[in-house]
A and B are shown apart, each in its own frame.
Chain A
Amino acid sequence: MKLTAEEKAVLEGKEGETKAKIMQTVVEFGELFGATELVPVTTSGHLVTSFGIGLLKPVYRIMDEIIEAGLKTPYPFTVDPRPIDYQNVKCGILDKLIFSKIMYSKQKHYEEQLSKIGLKNKNAFTCACYLKEVGNTPKYGDVLSWAESSAVVFANSVLGARCNRNSGMLDIFGALLGKVPKFGLLTDEGRKANWIIEVKTTSLPEAQILGSAIGMKVMEDVPYVVGLDKFLGNELTDDVISYLKDFGAATASNGAVGLYHIENLTPEAKEFGKKLINKDAKVYVIDDAELERVYKSYPIMWKDKNAKPTLCFIGCPHLTFSQLNSWTSKIEEGLKQSGRRKVALRVIMTTPPDVKEKFEKTENFLKLKKFGVKISSICPLMYTNNPIAGSKPIITNSNKLRTYSKSRYYKDEDILKIICGVK
């Protein structure tokens, strides 16, 4: 890799041993993928590691080194959601003991470390940092040092920013150096599609199942999706943004997609159209039957497969403001249908702290409260990592949460029926 004089000086330790080791790691990483240069990071970072799990000793040790070396990120960064919210996600004594004393024993310490190196503020904890209410929203062409698979795929695909699927630690390193290696999704060539996805369903597909099907098929390749604009239109409205957020998260967790193009909708697809498709691109046709096949392939991991669910998480990734409003209307209607005043089980909807604050000023918040729904900014995945929580029959409409926990996935309409007690 060709380095500038300034970068070479960092690598040689002129700015300290820790920064040199960080530079060495970033350079080695880039060279593995044929990067020929480092390019400047143009906006705020986003880190995936938000949880103070005691076992992640390498993180706390390296963070201490960074702080001791006096390094700070040039831009304030955001970070994934917190793992604990006792106020809105009630836990028993044993759960609390496991969360606070065993699993996330380093949470307070880690948050202090994050603050010292450039954390944006107390509301910076969300996986959907790109939402306008949160404000870490990159512009078209921005170069990022982000991790969090759902945020990276959103920034690349919906916003037209440029970011590789960085790992935890590499996200911090790039943000601290203000430089990332140029390869893969940072290049025009790397943003071309190797797959054409032909959507031939009879109605708008469930975002989370469509994303899952594509992720499992294309793994880390770039898909170019045709036929979806028929249902979504050509504008990135709030509802479309919500759909693409959930769709992308499923492509990234069920596969390793870092960028997708939706014909006539996402910015690069609008600008370059089919020129984005490589000549030897493979084709995957998705119809109603294929979506059903994928849906039915999900294993049910509950010990008692017929157990009655006791908890429902909606919002992985975190819900947008429009999704909170939409769920309020749907639950109101569902409860009318079932004749119930409250939801039939514990329901937790998760959303970024800034969106939560905005939503709490609305009538819909009062309605949800009356229905017994809790609003939190917790990370459902981190909550369900608790072995006690993991043994409970939890349901979700998130394909990401299904993948990383024992939670059972249901389509939106089925979740609604269950939580509203509709027979």
Chain B
Amino acid sequence: MEKKVFKGRVICKGNYEGECVVSKQGLNTLATFQKSALMNKKKVIGADQNNPDVYGKNLTGVALILPQTIGSTTGGLVIQTICQMGINPAALLFSEEIDSLAASGVILAKNWENSNIIAIDKLGSEILTAIKTGDKISVKEDGTVTLLD
């Protein structure tokens, strides 16, 4: 069977192989991450009650596939903080163009926290349905995302 491969724009490059979590709807950064960050947890458990795709799921160290982020403008700062705490997803993979808040977050994390979080956008909306939570994927630094067997 032909492998599902997606190619996007590299914002923060890196390689990753492992599990992913897919949020089919816009990911509310503050609602998703704040609880774990505030409680100083070692792992982020998605806390957005309005997003069943991520609610209750571990988001630390995984590839998070999403259309864009939504919600409060603390979003970028929240991403920077979880990167500083080392509890961030390994990769943020956006089907659409990255939004301004997520973009701020990954740039702040890279420039001010020396974070190696991977960020790729414009992967196309098909990635949200072709890849499912729990699937194994590989991410390459040229912006290629492949669904593994």
Measured CB to CB, the residues of A under 8 A from B are 21, 24-25, 28-29, 32-33, 48-49, 53, 55-59, 62, 103, 147-149, 152, 164-171, 184, 215, 219-220, 252-256, 298-299, 301, 385, 387, 403-404, 406
Which of A28, A152, A406 is close to B107, meaning CB atoms less than 8 Å apart?
A28
Docked complex Cα distance between A169 and B39 (Å): 22
CB of B73 within 8 A of CB of A25, answer: no
CB of A56 within 8 A of CB of B81, answer: yes
Given contacts A21-B112, A58-B84, A404-B72, contact A168 B77 (CB under 8 A): yes
CB of B26 within 8 A of CB of A55, answer: no
In the complex, what residue of chain A is closest to B102 when comparing beta carbons?
Answer: A167
CB of A403 within 8 A of CB of B71, answer: yes
CB of B71 within 8 A of CB of A149, answer: yes
Docked complex Cα distance between A184 and B49 (Å): 30
Given contacts A32-B98, A56-B81, A403-B28, contact A149 B73 (CB under 8 A): yes
B75 within 8 A of A: yes
For residue A255, which residues in chain B have a CB less than 8 angstroms away from its CB?
Answer: 26, 70
Docked complex Cα distance between A59 and B104 (Å): 14
For residue A299, which residues in chain B have a CB less than 8 angstroms away from its CB?
Answer: 49-50
Instruction: List 7 other contacts, CB 8 Å, given A25-B111, A256-B71.
Output: A55-B37, A57-B81, A165-B100, A167-B76, A167-B100, A168-B77, A252-B71
For residue B5, which residues in chain A have a CB less than 8 angstroms away from its CB?
Answer: none
Docked complex Cα distance between A404 and B71 (Å): 9
11 residue pairs from A and B, CB less than 8 Å apart: A29-B103, A33-B103, A56-B77, A58-B84, A165-B101, A167-B101, A167-B108, A168-B74, A169-B77, A169-B80, A256-B68
Given contacts A24-B111, A404-B31, contact A149 B72 (CB under 8 A): yes
B37-53 interface with A by 8 A CB criterion: 37-40, 49-50
For residue B107, which residues in chain A have a CB less than 8 angstroms away from its CB?
Answer: 25, 28-29, 32
Measured CB to CB, the residues of B under 8 A from A are 11, 26, 28, 30-31, 34, 37-40, 49-50, 67-77, 80-81, 84-85, 98-101, 103-105, 107-108, 111-113
In the complex, what residue of chain A is closest to B108 when comparing beta carbons?
Answer: A169
Which of A48, A59, A220 is close to B99, meaning CB atoms less than 8 Å apart?
A220
For residue A253, which residues in chain B have a CB less than 8 angstroms away from its CB?
Answer: 71-72
B90 to chain A, nearest CB (A): 19
Given contacts A25-B107, A59-B77, A170-B76, contact A256 B69 (CB under 8 A): yes
For residue B50, which residues in chain A have a CB less than 8 angstroms away from its CB?
Answer: 298-299, 403
Q: How many A-B residue pairs have CB under 8 A?
A: 124
CB of A49 within 8 A of CB of B49, answer: no
For residue A166, which residues in chain B have a CB less than 8 angstroms away from its CB?
Answer: 73, 100, 104
A190 to chain B, nearest CB (A): 11
For residue B98, which residues in chain A have a CB less than 8 angstroms away from its CB?
Answer: 32
In the complex, what residue of chain A is closest to B28 when comparing beta carbons?
Answer: A403
For residue A220, which residues in chain B have a CB less than 8 angstroms away from its CB?
Answer: 26, 68, 70, 99
Which of B38, B77, B103, B112 is close to A103, meaning CB atoms less than 8 Å apart?
B38
CB of B73 within 8 A of CB of A147, answer: yes
For residue B11, which residues in chain A have a CB less than 8 angstroms away from its CB?
Answer: 32
For residue A171, which residues in chain B have a CB less than 8 angstroms away from its CB?
Answer: 73
Of A167, A170, A184, most buried by chain B (CB within 10 Å of CB) is A167
B118 to chain A, nearest CB (A): 15
For residue A152, which residues in chain B have a CB less than 8 angstroms away from its CB?
Answer: 73
CB of A55 within 8 A of CB of B73, answer: no
CB of B71 within 8 A of CB of A169, answer: no
For residue B34, which residues in chain A have a CB less than 8 angstroms away from its CB?
Answer: 385, 404
Docked complex Cα distance between A62 and B81 (Å): 12
For residue B49, which residues in chain A have a CB less than 8 angstroms away from its CB?
Answer: 299, 301, 406
Which of A148, A170, A406 is close to B104, meaning CB atoms less than 8 Å apart?
A170
For residue B104, which residues in chain A have a CB less than 8 angstroms away from its CB?
Answer: 29, 166-167, 169-170
6 smallest A-B Cβ distances: which pairs?
A: A167-B76, A167-B104, A168-B77, A147-B73, A256-B70, A170-B104
Docked complex Cα distance between A301 and B28 (Å): 17
Docked complex Cα distance between A204 and B105 (Å): 38
For residue A169, which residues in chain B have a CB less than 8 angstroms away from its CB?
Answer: 76-77, 80, 104, 108
Which of A28, A48, A55 is close to B81, meaning CB atoms less than 8 Å apart?
A55
CB of A148 within 8 A of CB of B73, answer: yes
Given contacts A57-B81, A220-B99, contact A167 B37 (CB under 8 A): no
For residue B75, which residues in chain A have a CB less than 8 angstroms away from its CB?
Answer: 167-168
CB of B40 within 8 A of CB of A55, answer: yes
Given contacts A32-B98, A167-B75, contact A55 B85 (CB under 8 A): yes
